[in-house]
Chain A
Amino acid sequence: MESATVAVGHGHSEEHHGPPEANQSSRIDKQVLGILLFIVSEVMLFGAFFAAYFFLRVVVDPPSWPPEPYELPVAVAGINTAILISSSFTIHYALESIRRGNRAGLKLGLVLTWLLGATFLFIQVNEYVHIGFSARDLAFGSIFYGLTGLHGAHVFVGLLLLSFASIRAFRGHFGPKAEDHLGVEVPGIYWHFVDVMWIIVYVTVYIL
């Protein structure tokens, strides 16, 4: 298919191929707007899982939660929560560093965030191995693995994004100007979302 050709400027020979440039708001980058809209859709996805959880917990109202003889490792998950919250601070440190032009701080922050995220995921997988029930054990098992697994998948995607950002940081990409470090800013926003979702999952599933 032939692409549309739009002449740029008045009588300039330079031509722009493809569709016209999209309107750009002066208040928010299109990449940031994109990730925020994506997060809104993700909130709805988590909302569906929470709706199922609360239906089982409140409407079905079993005699005990978690059902006998199952137990949730609240302390281990609490430590895991602390690890994930720490990773939000390290990604924020990475971004603050690059805003000040500190490339070493950016690399350190990204690597620390990746390591903390990987530790979180490792502990969660270890928890699954030792927890003593599977997704096939009652609706409780299904919703537990559904909610925590959905979140774990998001952590995995976040780690992939952080890997790309880290590789680019070590190859000398990114700069102090806002438009020069969007490749860290966007994964950073996503990582904060993953962190907030885990705080909600932990409080809802493990504590309440």
Chain B
Amino acid sequence: MSLNEGAVFKWVVIVGIAAGVVIAVTLVTSQLVGALVGLAVVIAGCVYGFRWARRKRRAS
């Protein structure tokens, strides 16, 4: 597990892309749809993060 600036920068890019998707969906559709997509992205991120942490704990 590498916890350095490079790893954090990767997360900046991921969050930036996710935010871009939410902004695009909101501008094309409505605030409600954008909020729902944002919620889905946050939940997906949490699930991914949880699985990643569990995988790393097993590997170590």
Contact = CB atoms under 8 A, between A and B. Distances in A.
Contacts of A88: 9, 12
Contacts of A28: 3
A192 B19 contact: no
Contact of B5 (A33, A188, A195): A188
Contact of B6 (A92, A199, A203): A92
A85 B35 CA distance: 22
Contacts of A27: 1, 3
Interface in A153-208: 178, 185, 188-189, 192-193, 195-196, 199-200, 202-203, 207-208
B5 A196 contact: no
A196 B22 contact: no
A200 B19 contact: yes
A106 B34 CA distance: 39
B34 A207 contact: yes
Contacts, number: 58
Given A207-B34, A208-B26, A208-B35, A199 B19 contact: yes
A203 B20 CA distance: 9
Given A92-B5, A200-B19, A195 B12 contact: yes
B5 to A, nearest CB: 4
Interface in B35-52: 35, 38
Contact of A193 (B3, B8, B27, B34): B8
Contacts of B38: 203, 208
Given A195-B12, A199-B15, A207 B5 contact: no
Closest 4 CB pairs of A and B: A188-B5, A192-B8, A92-B9, A199-B19
22 contacts: A27-B3, A32-B4, A85-B12, A92-B6, A92-B9, A178-B4, A188-B5, A188-B9, A189-B5, A189-B8, A192-B11, A192-B12, A196-B15, A199-B16, A200-B15, A202-B19, A203-B19, A203-B38, A207-B34, A208-B31, A208-B35, A208-B38
